[in-house]
Structure formats: C-alpha cells, structure tokens
Amino acid sequence: MKKIILIALLFTNQFSYGQFNINDISNALNSTLGKNLTNDQITKGLKEALNVGTKNATKAVGKTDGYYKNNLIKIPFPSEAKDMKNTLVSLGLKKQVDSFEKQLNRAAEDAAKKAAPIFLNAITKMNINDGLTILKGKDDEATQYLKRQTTADLKKEFKPIIAASLSKVQITKYWKPLSTSYNQVPFVKKVNPDLEDYVNQMAIDGLFKMVALEEAKIRKDPAARVNDILQTVFGGKK
C-alpha cells in the first residue's frame, strides 16, 4: 500500500496544474507492482477495506465490556471533574462512582451497535475522487474519510441511546446540578454539565480509534486481507 501511496503522490503536482490523467495511477501501479489495477479495482479495494474494518471495529466495541475493558478507549469519569470524583468518594460514594463510570461505558457499547449502517452508507457513496484522496493521504486516511462523512449522523443516532442508558444509574441524575454548582466555584477548571454530550463524543472517538487500528492491520498485515480484492489492492496479488 505504501507503494500505491507514493505513486499517487508523484502525480500531485500534475493534478494541481490540471494535467492529471486518472489512468496514470493504474499505469504506474502496473509497472511497479507487476499487475493491472483499474481505477474501479482500487476504489473497490478501498471500499472493501473500510467495510471489513468498520465491521470488525463495531463488533469489538458494541458488546458488553467493548469499551469498559479496553484501556485504549475506556470512558473514564470526566478527567476535568477529578476533584468532584474525589469528593464523592470521600463521602462514601465509591460504589456509586464505580457504577456510574461503568454505565458511561455501557451507554457507549449500546450506542455503537447503531454505527454499522451509517458506516455502510458512507462507504457505498465513496467515489473515485474519494479513493484518490485516500491513496494520497496518511495511513489512517480512510478512517479520516469516514470520520468526515459519518460523525454528525453518529452523534444524532447515538444521543437517545446514550440518554436511555445513562438514566439507569442514579448518580447521572445528580450530574448536571453537581457540575453546574461546581462550575460556579471561582478559578476551577470547568466541567461539561452535559453528560450525554461527553459520553457521545468519547464513544465516537473510541470507535474511530478502533477503525484506525483495523485500517492499519489491512495495510500492513497480510493475514488481515481476508478476500481476493484486499489481497490484490493491498498485497500485490496478481
């Protein structure tokens, strides 16, 4: 895949001056990798990489403990509210604080199950120009494409699920009045009184971290290229 990206970069200047021929990528790939790759094959391969990656990522996080027991994406008690957490614990509410933190992650796990069709819709809409952008971009460019295309829809879809999930623990009912009162203390670092917004953003950030990991696997690990089109585009298979 690095070879593909480097080749695409060679044509950037020509593209900027309106001299870019889209078939140059296929010709260069043919001479470099020893096979014919059409623009359709490249786009299909990128779509399939996103399809496989998002399915794996969504499956990994959209289950019990998908967030809670994954230290990379676990949603903590809001870091800016550390003093609030310490105060609650000192008042003998550690059990409630632990339950609260677990429910933050349960909310994200519940919401993540709704991500798959949103991702699929964005992948289906990807065109050759999107594909070329991904080819010329960074190693997580496909993930960044998805982030641009789906974040607004993910937030909208996640919001009611997160709200319903958070309502299951008593401490969430006290979050807004507690945080609002805390924010009135002079010179303290303000906390976000909208707990649903906090969990929503953390859930989406964690999901895209997992998608990026899946993208990296497909680019670098032959074992992750689970079908012919992925092996052809990313592995140099003829």
What is the signed CA dihedral for 206, 211, 213, 216, rounded to 10 degrees? -150
Nearest CA among 178, 197, 199 for reference residue 77:
199
Q: What is the pLDDT of residue 194?
A: 84
* Long-range interactions of 172-177: CB distance < 8 A, separation 24+: 172/100, 172/103
pLDDT band at 37 (very low <50, low <70, confident <90, very high): low
Average pLDDT on 194-202 reads: 92
Which amino acid, residue 47?
Answer: K
- Chain segment 123-145, per-residue pLDDT in tens: 999 888 887 787 777 888 889 99
The predicted model scores a pTM of 0.74
The answer to whether residue 220 sits within a structural domain is: yes
The answer to whether residue 8 sits within a structural domain is: no
- Chain segment 39-90, per-residue pLDDT in tens: 777 788 788 878 888 999 999 999 999 999 999 999 998 876 777 788 778 8
Which structural domain range is residue 157 located in? 42-235
The answer to whether residue 25 sits within a structural domain is: no
Question: CA-based Rg of the chain, rounded to a whole angstrom?
Answer: 22
Q: How many CB atoms lie within 10 A of CB 159?
A: 15
Domain count, the chain: 1
Average pLDDT on 1-7 reads: 40
The answer to whether residue 12 sits within a structural domain is: no
Q: What is the pLDDT of residue 223?
A: 53
Average pLDDT on 11-15 reads: 35
Tell me how far apart the alpha carbons of residues 195 and 176 are, in angstroms, rounded to a whole number.
8
The answer to whether residue 16 sits within a structural domain is: no
48 vs 5, higher pLDDT: 48
Find out whether 120 and 174 touch, Cβ atoms under 8 Å. Answer: no
Exposed e or buried b per residue across 62-83, where buried means at least 16 C-beta atoms within 10 angstroms of its C-beta:
beeebbbeeeebbbebbeebee
pLDDT band at 222 (very low <50, low <70, confident <90, very high): low
The answer to whether residue 145 sits within a structural domain is: yes
Res. 173: pLDDT tops 80 = no
The answer to whether residue 52 sits within a structural domain is: yes
Average pLDDT on 140-162 reads: 94
221 vs 49, higher pLDDT: 49
195 vs 150, higher pLDDT: 150
Lowest mean pLDDT among 24-33, 106-115, 157-166: 24-33
Res. 15: pLDDT tops 50 = no
The answer to whether residue 13 sits within a structural domain is: no
Q: What is the pLDDT of residue 9?
A: 33
Res. 228: pLDDT tops 60 = no
Q: What is the pLDDT of residue 45?
A: 76
Q: What is the pLDDT of residue 184?
A: 82
